[in-house]
Amino acid sequence: MNDIEKKIRDKYIEMNDEAAPDMDALWSRIEEKLPEKDEETTPVTSKPRIKMNRIVSFAVPLAACIIAVIALPQLMNSADNSPSPIISDGNYAEDAQASPADEENSDNQVNDAADNAQAEQAEQIDQAQPSGDAQDTYRSALEAYGSTVEYEMLSLNPSETVSVKPAGIRGSDNSKYFVEDEVLESTQLFCRASVKDVYFSDGGDTVCYTLEADETIYRGTETDTEKKTITAIATVTNGEMFKDKSEYLLCENRTYLLPLRMENSVTDTYRIVFPYAPQIEITLDNYYIFHNGWNTLTDGEISDVICTSQGNDDFYYDRMKLCSAKEIKKLLEYWENS
Amino acid sequence: MFLQIFSQNRHKNAPPVRIFSNSDFIGDVHPAYTDGINVKDIIAMTDKDFQLHIRSVASGSKEALKLIYKEYGRMIYSAAFEVVKNRENAEDITSDFFIRLYTSAAATYTPGNGHKRWLASIAHNMAIDLLRRNSHEQLLDEDEESARQEIPDTDAPPDITVTDRITIAQAMQTLDDKERQIINLKFEADLTFRDIASVMKMPMGTVTWKYRSAIEKLRRCSDCE
């Protein structure tokens, strides 16, 4: 920041100072509306904070060592035995939920050793999320999360991908309306994959995703559970991304269930069948976020997902739902038989 | 590093402490932070500090929420105001923001991406949601009315030429909405361009370009040269 910018900044802050509201009065207003909670920790002060930091700095490596010696072999064994999440097995949903449960329980053990406060928070979050107990029977999204859940509350990997303003559905171009039967008809395979990289080619007209596929389901053939790296592409609707008119980008580090069709078998490149809407996103606890254009999925015990609008052209932010693997199984069966 | 601290009448009822390092302005801190605390502790709330505070908030500590409010309340208000352009709505958003933080959002905080970006992002989204809830016609009316109310100097000429000497408030009126929001997030929240791009869901190139464009327009402010 150069001198001119610093002067402008100071003048700007000064201008805002004059127009700022009475922050103390505003706090009083906020305080009046705060609901009563049972406080679980001592009030925050600077000195205990420092002590806590010291405790954490010693306890975390210690807990990590304990986990490495005792828990890690068990975790690895359970990971080796864990079934593929989408395989059409009657018990897959139950099994799939048991796996994150074990990890969560282990995480809590680490937290207990490292920091009691963190463990308490984990328990609190745990109450809002589906129970991870391996003894639990199958739970629908409705049962696990209730009728509505905020997108930010869902268990998702952090992502650095900057979502740009989506094009969504526009004008009279019928090809951009999501019609489930048409999408399924064009879908040659469903792929459960994590996004490893997002980049643009063709001068910004094509968005490319490097995907790590852990499960691929071909119509009429067996499910391929071999892990492989593939490329998925989508043409950007309105030209270069810097026009702020791109598709609903997939986020790096997140996992999706993608309807694809083959683009180039030599380079193992696939095309996303319908990129003009959010793709089916998979949470870490194996629930599926989808828009209500997927008619087959909306029949089950699902929850509404409250999302933040991506802009005026975002036609999907208030149409997002959450379902379990049970509904996904129905969708895949419908696709197989269609 | 030499640190100099002195108070200045910044807010009507809560003058903050203004911190300088070798005559460079570092930031403002609410006086509540200065009582018996080392200078190094009050320069800014670190991610680690924030993590501890927000964890306490998630556990039900109003005291921790107040500390976060004192540090970032003004930033949240300002970020909301630049979107809704209405003082009353911006205060409502700030109020709802901290209530939401207390009731649910605090538990969802994930360290690692910068707490200021997280806070600014929620505030920005809440402001946009409010705009969307209101009808388009209502918004236009409110914008015009609030623009008249919020800008003290209404004598700005309709056509400002490049050579005119204008106040910072007038200069800000020459910016478009996105430019104003970017300037706000840069100056008030002290976010990086990458953070701003994330908050506003824009490509970083667009953010930097718009920032430069805004700075060029603001250079015409007579006090800024």
Side chain identity at residue A56, one-letter code: V
Q: In 3D, which of A335, A302, A300 has the Cα closest to residue A320?
A: A302
The CA distances from residue A231 to A194, A196, A270, A271, A278, in Å, are 11, 10, 6, 8, 18
CB contact under 8 A, B58 and A124: yes
Dihedral angle of Cα B194, B198, B204, B209, to the nearest 10 degrees: -100
pLDDT at A264: 82
Strands across the sheet with B17-21, in order? B3-7, B17-21, B24-29
**A79-83, A188-192, A203-207, B197-201: least confidently modelled range:** A79-83
- Interface list for B 154-213 with A (CB within 8 A): 168-169, 172, 183, 186-188, 197-198, 201-206
Reported residue count of chain A is: 338
Regarding predicted confidence, which is higher, A249 or B89? B89
Strand partners, B19: B5, B27
Q: Residue A153: its chain B contacts at CB < 8 A?
A: 104, 108
Please compute the mean of the pLDDT values over residues A274-294 and round it to a whole number.
91
- Identify the closest residue of chain A to B111 by CA–CA distance: A158
Cα(A336)–Cα(A324) distance, integer angstroms = 19
pLDDT for the residue A294: 94
Chain A residues inside the 8 Å CB shell of B67: 44
Residues in contact with B39: Cβ distance below 8 Å, sequence separation at least 6, in sequence order: B3, B5, B19
User: In this complex, which of B129, B169, B205 lies closest to A308 when CB atoms are compared?
Assistant: B129
In sequence order, what are the residues at sequence separation of 6 or more whose Cβ sits closer than 8 angstroms to the Cβ of residue A76? none
How far, in Å, CA of B46 to CA of B28, rounded?
14
Burial of B26 (0-12, 13-18, 19+ CB in 10 A): middle
Query: Closest to A21 (Cβ–Cβ): which among B63, B87, B224?
Result: B87
Give A220's DSSP letter: T
Lookup: tokens for A203:
């001068």
Cβ distance of B219 and A8 shorter than 8 Å: yes
Burial A16-49 (b: 16+ CB within 10 A, else e): bbeebbebeebbebbbeeeeeeeebbeebeeeeb
Q: Which residues of B touch A44 (CB under 8 A)?
A: 52-53, 56, 61, 63-64, 67
For residue B14, give the 3-state DSSP assignment: coil
| Residue in B closest to A36 by C-alpha | B60
Q: Which of A12-21, A157-166, B208-217 has the lowest mean pLDDT?
A: A157-166
User: CB A18 to CB B152 under 8 A?
Assistant: yes
Per the prediction, chain A carries an average pLDDT of: 70
Q: In degrees rounded to 5, what are phi and psi of residue A259?
A: -80, 125
Scan residues 4-63 of B and list those with Cβ closer than 8 Å to A. Answer: 10-14, 25, 37, 41, 48-49, 52-53, 55-56, 58-63
**Choice between B77 and A171, residue whose per-residue pLDDT is larger:** B77
State pLDDT tens for residues B13-60.
444 554 444 444 445 554 444 444 333 344 568 888 888 888 888 888
CA angle B114/B43/A19 to nearest 5° reads: 85
Contacts with A241 from chain B: Cβ below 8 Å:
203
The pLDDT of B135-163, averaged and rounded, is 50
Contacts of A52 in chain B (CB under 8 A): 52
Which residue, B218, B120, B104, is CA-closest to B169? Answer: B218
What is the three-class DSSP state of B21? strand
Residue pair A289/A280 in contact (Cβ under 8 Å)? The answer is yes
Q: What is the spatial distance between Cα A78 and Cα A72, in angstroms, rounded to a whole number? A: 10
CB pairs under 8 A between A and B: 179
Share of chain B above pLDDT 70, in %: 64
CA of B27 vs chain A CAs: smallest distance (Å)? 10
Instruction: Report yes or no for ipTM above 0.90.
Output: no
Cβ–Cβ < 8 Å for A286, A93: yes
Instruction: Give the span between the Cα atoms of B176 and B73, in whole angstroms.
Output: 25
Given pLDDT bands bounded at 50, 70 and 90, which one contains residue A103? very low
Residue partners of A123: CB distance under 8 A and separation at least 6? A108
Q: What angle do CA B38, B107, A297 make, to 5 degrees?
A: 155
Cα separation of B55 and B61, whole Å?
9
What's the pLDDT at B5? 37
Measured between CA atoms, how close is B52 to chain A, in angstroms?
A: 8
Q: Is the pLDDT of residue B162 over 80?
A: no
Q: What is the DSSP letter of A7?
A: H
Residue with tokens 């008119």: A245
Q: What percent of chain A has pLDDT over 90?
A: 19
| Of the candidate ranges A88-97, A224-233, B201-210, the one whose mean pLDDT is the lowest | A88-97
Say which residue, A166 or A8, is predicted with more confidence: A8
Q: Which of residues 107-146 of B touch A (CB under 8 A)?
A: 107-108, 110, 112-113, 125, 128-129, 132
Q: Which of A231, A288, A227, A293 shows the shortest CA–CA distance to A255?
A: A288
Nearest C-alpha neighbor of A293 from the set A261, A315, A324: A315
Nearest by CB to B203, which of A21, A43, A241?
A241
Answer whether A26 sits within 8 Å of B95, measured CB to CB. yes
